[in-house]
Amino acid sequence: MKSILVLSILLLTSPFAWSHKSSDSFIHLTVSGEHIMGRWDIALRDLEYALAIDLDGDGAVTWYELRTRYEEIKNYAFKNLLVTRGSTECIPKSGQLQVDHHTDGNYAVLNFDLDCNETVDKLDIKYQLLFDLDPTHRGLLEIKKDQSSEFVIFSPENQNRIIDFSQPSRWQTFCQFVEEGIWHILIGYDHILFLLCLLFPSVVRKTTTGWQASEQFSSTFWHVGKIVTAFTLAHSITLVLAVLQVVSLPSRLIESAIAFSVILVALNNVYPFFSERAWLVAFVFGLIHGFGFATVLTDLELAVGSLSLSLLGFNMGVEIGQLTLVSVFLPVAFLFRRYWFYQRIVLLAGSQAIMVLALVWFLQRAFDLNIISS
């Protein structure tokens, strides 16, 4: 019991306690001659974090508060977005302020124009918003000219990008979405814990006398292969359906269901009730996790012509992240499967601690409670 309490406290005070949805902003640029029309969506929660725009401190940013701080918001945003053509800076001219709703909440919408003084055929873009405060933040940019479009994902490690419309790089775009898929797994702690809870009992099995270690790695490997394949197939289906907007579910419902799935698989490790059907559970809940994976691409509002490349790259990145996790965990778990430490601490106590954390996630997401502050 003491070990369970310690593990629970460690998990509840770690980054694993953060909500699943990462911090993103979305920029759409349309080039026409010397001019660029732009729209920049920045989450209100991020603006509150950076600028404390909630004037009365009631936990909700109102239209009045947003409008009152508009000049400060505008100056902060454009200080961190530099667009140049050659040696000439394209000066932003702000337009109407709006508010839009994304899958994870409300966003301030900054409409603006950029004047580059010459016909735009090549741009150098530097993005630094929130990187000093949140290293997980990403800036997702779509820029269109005539019939072509380019996509850029900015991060603390990738703050600059040169856009050359005469030499569009679909391969570079594909690679960026692969990286984003990998990144989405790395920061998707609920996805990681769900998969780990499915993998914990893969190297042992419950008997009337206790836990019995698996004898052959090959049989364990194929058992895990069925689980991962089922999960992959399921979340790929709903990822595509969500991005194509064939099926749309409320963000709170999706995130709550993901937390519930972690509770269920963790509980199964303590009191087994579907040990022989783990692949089926992986498939059923994989359908829900797919909606969670889709949030980035859905909010980016990709053009129809770019969807296939982006979906393929992003999904491939997710799979690379998953397979990396499995390839690291499985050999180590198989090596230590006979030891008391693995069976009692990793499998049982670890699952119980994860169950406590997932329950907090569920209450926080389903009922909008601020149990854990991120």
Residues 293 and 310 in one domain: yes
| Residue 141 placed within a domain | yes
Residue 373 has pLDDT above 60, yes or no: no
Q: For residue 209, how many other CB atoms are within 10 A of its CB?
A: 6
CA angle 14, 15, 18 (to 5 degrees): 115
Q: Give the containing element (helix H, strand E) for 252.
A: helix 251-270
229 is written with which tokens?
A: 């394949």
* 7-22 average pLDDT score: 48
Say which residue, 249 or 50, is predicted with more confidence. 50
219 is written with which tokens?
A: 């049989």
Residues 258 and 279 in one domain: yes
Cα–Cα distances in angstroms (integers) from residue 174 to residues 54, 66, 312, 315, in the given order:
39, 36, 8, 11
Residue 304 confidence (pLDDT) = 57
Question: DSSP character for 16?
Answer: G
Map 135-187 to HEC letters: CCCEEEEEEEECCEEEEEEEECCECEEEEECCCCCHHHHHHHHHHHHHHHHHH
If one counts the domains in the chain, the total is 2
- Most confident of the following: 107-121, 258-272, 358-372: 258-272
Residues 163 and 302 in one domain: no
Per the CB < 8 A criterion, the answer to whether 362 and 256 are in contact is yes
Mapped onto helix, strand or coil, the DSSP state of residue 212 is: strand
Residues 40 and 136 in one domain: yes
Mapped onto helix, strand or coil, the DSSP state of residue 56 is: coil
Left, alpha or beta for 368 (phi > 0: left; psi -120 to 50: alpha)?
left
| Residue 174 placed within a domain | no
Per the CB < 8 A criterion, the answer to whether 35 and 113 are in contact is yes
Contacts of 277 (CB under 8 A, 6+ apart): none
Residues 143 and 164 in one domain: yes
Amino acid at position 339, single letter: Y
| Residue 127 placed within a domain | yes
Encode pLDDT of 206-220 as tens digits.
777 778 898 899 989
Residues 12 and 37 in one domain: no
Cα separation, 290 vs 318, whole angstroms: 10
Residue 299 has pLDDT above 50, yes or no: yes
Encode pLDDT of 69-93 as tens digits.
999 999 999 999 999 988 788 989 9
Cα–Cα distances in angstroms (integers) from residue 107 to residues 46, 73, 97, 102, 299, in the given order:
9, 12, 11, 7, 11
Encode pLDDT of 145-194 as tens digits.
887 778 888 999 999 998 887 776 777 788 888 988 898 888 888 999 99
| Residue 106 placed within a domain | yes
* 344-364 average pLDDT score: 94
Cα separation, 77 vs 149, whole angstroms: 23
Residue 362 confidence (pLDDT) = 94
Q: For residue 242, give its domain range.
A: 2-18+188-366
* 345-362 average pLDDT score: 94
Contacts of 16 (CB under 8 A, 6+ apart): 189, 193, 357
Residue 368 has pLDDT above 80, yes or no: no
Residues 111 and 192 in one domain: no
